[in-house]
Amino acid sequence: MQKRKLGRSGPEVSAIGFGCMGLNHHRGPALRKEDAIALLRAGFDRGVTFFDTAEIYGPFTNEEIVGDALAPVRDSVVIATKFGFKDGRPNTGLDSRPQSIRRMVEAALLRLKTDRIDILYQHRIDPDVPMADVAGAVRDLIGEGKVLHFGLSEADDQSVRLAHAVQPLAALQSEYSLFWRQPEASVLSTVEELGIGFVSYSPLGRGFLSGTMGQNTSFEAANDQRKTNPYLAPENRAANQPIIDAIQSVAKEKKSTAAQIAIAWLLARKPWIVPIPGTTKVNRLEENIAAAAIEFSEEEMGKIDEVFATITPHGDRYATAPRPQAQK
């Protein structure tokens, strides 16, 4: 597996990471814990060294799985987790008060079975807590060695700049894919200017870009968040078929899968972008990892951009259509 450095101050990680959320949260029936642990270790055995979790996944149990899985190889991996919701539960509102950040970190260290968190993200911007206070709290934890690097998730340009001025950011994590390209509007240029890495979650558009979803695909599990994603509504899956057709055309030329093209495209965008696809299956894990070997020339990237310039995506990411919030 190739390695990439997250920005100027961040850690070196595998070019493709592992988004752990779907192991037991928001993606249907949870894997048995022993199976989830085996899958994460399989990822490490195949070269993955970057694993992403959060306290709200589960809540809390996802961090426990990651901790158990990676304890034997702790010094060879980079673990990222996130704070920012009251009591670690997304339906209780935001909470990035310094005392809450510290309490979350102390608990997460126990669940992760480690003495430090490699990257600590603010999961969502809390408009009620000044960014200087948030970044200052993380800076203190870095000074104590409990956190190594600071990151933001789904943040706007202003918040990135405010945070970075207090404690340099290693990474910004946001959704970014051939379907959802909103980060290109401004924030990608901001992180490039400041020397911050970019971590792409949902690089496969919650599975849509794999080309395996049809108009009749259903999400039966009560906890499968995809059933509420507007762009995965049956009518939008049909309307977005040109996106899949375009990706599959490139995949045919490259003798690869649509999922691999979607991941490889992100890798080709910038050397400091790291996608973190998630999966519950070893064969999909291996498929994702193999995308790191696919290369695009500038001419090929230009042709892909030309094709996608003629395609309009249908549907938003969430029913409430959130956008990165600005800090006061």
Q: What are the catalytic residues?
A: 57
How big is the chain by its Cα radius of gyration, in Å?
19
SS3 101: helix
- Parallel, antiparallel, or unpaired for β 147-153 and 169-175? parallel
CA distance 244 to 264: 15
What is the residue whose two structure tokens read 């899958």? Answer: 39
E-only strand ranges, 18-104:
18-19, 50-52, 78-83
- Which tokens hold the place of 321? 């259509």
What is the residue whose two structure tokens read 């249908």? Answer: 314
The torsion of the CA quartet 304, 305, 309, 310, rounded to 10 degrees, works out to -20
